[in-house]
């Protein structure tokens, strides 16, 4: 049965409404839908917000969520009483977003990320990892004034943090600082129960809060409705915005595996040259191949304090070193280190599942900047290969290694250039930094 295209007229577009609205077109075409996601959204919305968001399809979404009887306030209250017991609206919102990311519905995820990552202040995003048990948590702090956010309290139930020295029952230790951009945690479940958490930070004279809720494994095993269609979309040509990276310092020290050189990109990609200022350990040019209108990679930039000597070609003119909407900022910095470079590489990470699998930065056996897709100095599962860029200054200093993860045979050629990777899920006793790796 086909439904007429819905008329949607909601006023204040929260990210929950954006997520729901991105699913409406499928409902309007009579496509099968994930009932669990709709149920969580019903728990996140009040009746009036649900009615405004879904418009002509509100009654259908209500039935899909498990609602009984006429679509009115009383029946909606009964739905929430039976389906949402013990679940706050914020937790339901987090669970709905997690379900959609589990299904890899590219359009819905991108619409939601455009909203979530564009918000000022503090945001928490939970993502499923390969295998389905561990959880990737992205903590995003956005401040126009580059103010630091200080953790005042946090909580975590049903899981434990693998990538930080965090006391049990906490997401981050009290007093920890969040800089502008993204911080990634990897969580392990304690059994099959749901995982919930909250983070409170103080910044700019106010307290900001974000909430996480990851459904139980029993709920997570409810298969997404349209996996074949979604996987076909993820595999289509042109999805990836990443066409490989090269490094030169007078000569082509590390060629792009897609082309075998440093001066050109494969068809369909544009070349960006990031001239990184010389430091004690690193100087030279990173040559990135990119294209717009992708979901996995949103370009790169190089920033020095409040200046942007190498802007991201996909960013706005107002914020040339920021990320496009829907992409999360990762800062790779060597500032203050004798082997580092005087500034920060800014990588814009998008939806997992494309050809781009993230970047990480190591020096010796230390993991100084983890890959946001894995919360470790490693590439994701699923056929991604690492490309090792051994960085060095023009005077010969050691700058460590920047590693890019890609899926061979698609955007770039099949060629592994990294002999080993680090997985710092258990930092050693003598490690003092949050990004340290085992020795």
Q: What is the pLDDT of residues 38-77, one digit of tens each?
A: 889 899 999 999 988 887 778 878 888 888 999 999 999 9
Please tell me the least confidently modeled range out of 197-211, 269-283, 299-313, 403-417.
Answer: 403-417
**How is residue 377 annotated by DSSP?**
S
Span between the terminal Cα atoms of the chain, in Å: 60
**How is residue 4 annotated by DSSP?**
P
Quick check: 329 and 182 in contact, CB under 8 A? Answer: yes
Q: What is the pLDDT averaged over residues 427-432?
A: 34
Q: Assign 239 a pLDDT band (cuts: 50, 70, 90).
A: low
Measured distance CA(179)–CA(150) in Å, rounded: 9
Outline which parts of the chain fall under CATH 2.60.40.10. 117-232
Q: What is the pLDDT averaged over residues 319-340?
A: 72
Q: How many CB atoms lie within 10 A of CB 205?
A: 6
Q: Write the CATH number of the domain with boundaries 117-232.
A: 2.60.40.10
Q: What is the pLDDT of residue 412?
A: 38
Quick check: 10 and 49 in contact, CB under 8 A? Answer: yes
Q: How far is CA 323 from CA 300, 312, 318, 355, in A?
A: 8, 8, 11, 19
Which secondary-structure segment (H or E) carries 187?
Answer: strand 181-189
pLDDT tens, 261-287? 898 888 888 999 888 755 544 567 889
Q: Assign 221 a pLDDT band (cuts: 50, 70, 90).
A: low
Q: Is the pLDDT of residue 11 over 50?
A: no
Q: What is the pLDDT of residue 86?
A: 86
Task: Give the percent of the chain with pLDDT over 90.
Answer: 20
Q: What is the pLDDT of residue 17?
A: 81
């Amino acid at each position: 049965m086909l439904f007429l295209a819905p008329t949607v007229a909601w006023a204040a577009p929260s990210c929950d409404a954006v997520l729901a609205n991105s699913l409406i077109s499928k409902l309007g075409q009579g496509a099968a839908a994930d009932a669990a996601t709709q149920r969580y959204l019903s728990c996140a919305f009040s009746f009036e917000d649900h009615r405004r968001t879904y418009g002509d399809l509100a009654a259908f979404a209500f039935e899909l969520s498990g609602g009984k009887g006429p679509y009115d306030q009383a029946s909606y209250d009964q739905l929430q009483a039976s389906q949402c017991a013990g679940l706050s609206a914020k937790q339901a919102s987090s669970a709905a977003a997690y379900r959609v990311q589990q299904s890899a519905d590219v359009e819905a995820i991108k619409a939601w990320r455009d909203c979530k990552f564009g918000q000022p202040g503090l945001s928490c995003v939970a993502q499923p990892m390969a295998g389905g048990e561990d959880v990737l948590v992205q903590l995003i702090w956005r401040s126009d004034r580059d103010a630091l956010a200080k953790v005042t309290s946090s909580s975590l139930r049903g899981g434990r943090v693998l990538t930080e020295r965090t006391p049990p029952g906490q997401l981050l230790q009290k007093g920890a600082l969040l800089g502008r951009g993204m911080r990634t945690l990897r969580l392990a479940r304690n059994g099959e129960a749901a995982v919930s958490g909250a983070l409170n930070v103080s910044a700019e004279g106010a307290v900001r809060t974000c909430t996480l809720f990851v459904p139980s494994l029993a709920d997570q095993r409810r298969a997404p409705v349209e996996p074949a269609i979604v996987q076909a979309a993820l595999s289509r040509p042109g999805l990836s915005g990443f066409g490989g990276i090269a490094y030169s310092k007078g000569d082509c020290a590390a060629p792009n595996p897609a082309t075998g050189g440093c001066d050109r990109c494969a068809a369909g990609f544009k070349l960006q040259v990031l001239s990184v200022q010389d430091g004690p350990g690193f100087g030279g040019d990173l040559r990135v191949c990119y294209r717009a209108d992708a979901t996995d990679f949103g370009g790169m930039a190089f920033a020095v304090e409040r200046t942007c000597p190498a802007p991201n070609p996909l960013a706005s003119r107002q914020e040339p070193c920021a990320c496009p909407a829907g992409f999360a900022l990762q800062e790779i910095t060597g500032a203050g280190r004798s082997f580092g470079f005087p500034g920060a590489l800014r990588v814009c990470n998008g939806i997992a599942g494309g050809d781009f699998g993230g970047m990480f930065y190591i020096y010796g056996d230390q993991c100084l900047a983890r890959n946001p897709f894995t919360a470790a100095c490693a590439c994701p599962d699923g056929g991604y290969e690492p490309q090792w860029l051994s960085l060095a200054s023009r005077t010969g200093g050691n700058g460590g290694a920047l590693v890019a993860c890609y899926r061979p045979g698609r955007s770039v050629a099949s060629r592994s250039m990294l002999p080993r990777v680090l997985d710092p899920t258990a930092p050693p006793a003598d490690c003092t930094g949050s990004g340290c790796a085992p020795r």
